[in-house]
A and B are shown apart, each in its own frame.
Chain A
Amino acid sequence: MKPKNWMKLEFPSESPNVMFARTAVAVFASQLDFTLDELEDIKVAVSEAVSNCVIHGYQGSVGNIVLEVAYDEQFISITVEDFGKGIPDIDQAKEAGYSSIPEERMGLGLVFMHEYMDEVLIDSRVGEGTKVLMKKKAPAPVS
């Protein structure tokens, strides 16, 4: 289905951009009739996905993150992509509490994304990067 609206951002994997990314997506998503709680949930999911790019995708070095958002009558779709390390074992990465790097996020990044979005698909290739597609059912758009 052709999107009713879309946007695309590209930015370096610097930590201040995590807030920028989730806020930009929330502002864009507010074109739809999501509740404030739902917009906050979308912000958490985006924050986790972009944080994953910074921490795991590029692991201290800086690379580009591409963020694309589009919506139609049925879904808002958010894609977060990095061109970094890639995930060797996606099923292992999805386990709550698992983290490949000793860092204090409690291994909850992917868990939150699955909790707050209706669908999460991960495409990752080691050495090439990771693309996360998250979808949430769209309420009737504000006319």
Chain B
Amino acid sequence: MKQGHIIATLIFIFGTYLTSAQSLDSIDNATIAYERGDYPSAIQFYESTVQAGISNGEIYYNLGNAYYENNDLAHALLNYRRAQQFLPRDLDLNTQLARIRSIRSTLQGETTNWLIRFVEVSDTIFTIKELSLFTFILWSSFFCLLMVYRLKKSWKKRLQLPLIAFLFSMLIMLLLLGTRLYVFHQMPPAIVTALTSPVMSGASIAYFEQYEVFAATEIYITEQQEEWVKFVTADDKQGWIMKKDIEWVFAE
């Protein structure tokens, strides 16, 4: 029995090492292919790394660059949005995002959807993890302060103002964190990857076509029905679109 456990552990360690080694090779090959100008190969190597389960901000950024250099704006934007979840303050990344948003065919208007507006306040400043940690610190500090307020009667007057300040800050951070998490789970972002896609009034081609969207349009999914998804954009356009014409920024 013990021997079995040891063998299984060794296999796991070896497997992990092998995967890591293969991934490193893929990344190196991708870098070489990119610098050589062989963008399709670079894309292939980076995608295989991501499919092997290795993913972080730098890998998504580099993959986005490969797609961008290969003139595939939709997939470039998709990977830049993925990288943004890990590197929200990165100047190069934000420059590339702005570049694609000015190039793409779709003219997306000002954000009018209030939920997405709240998300936009923080998503170029904090990752969700950083926001969660900061809010957690405020949350814990507030309750510690409240405990002292209750227990030390002589400190009550002194603690009133700091308590209010902490409460106010905590509520704002909770609101920002809440909207980020809500949108992440209930309104996951996606990118239109088809060149053009009809937007229907219902979840079927039997419904009426309302308008078209073009590649690199950023949408948020609100509902799913078989092969169709219902979406909303930041400027509050809505409709149904086929799943095959979009890709989720995060796994479905």
Bound pair: A and B?
no
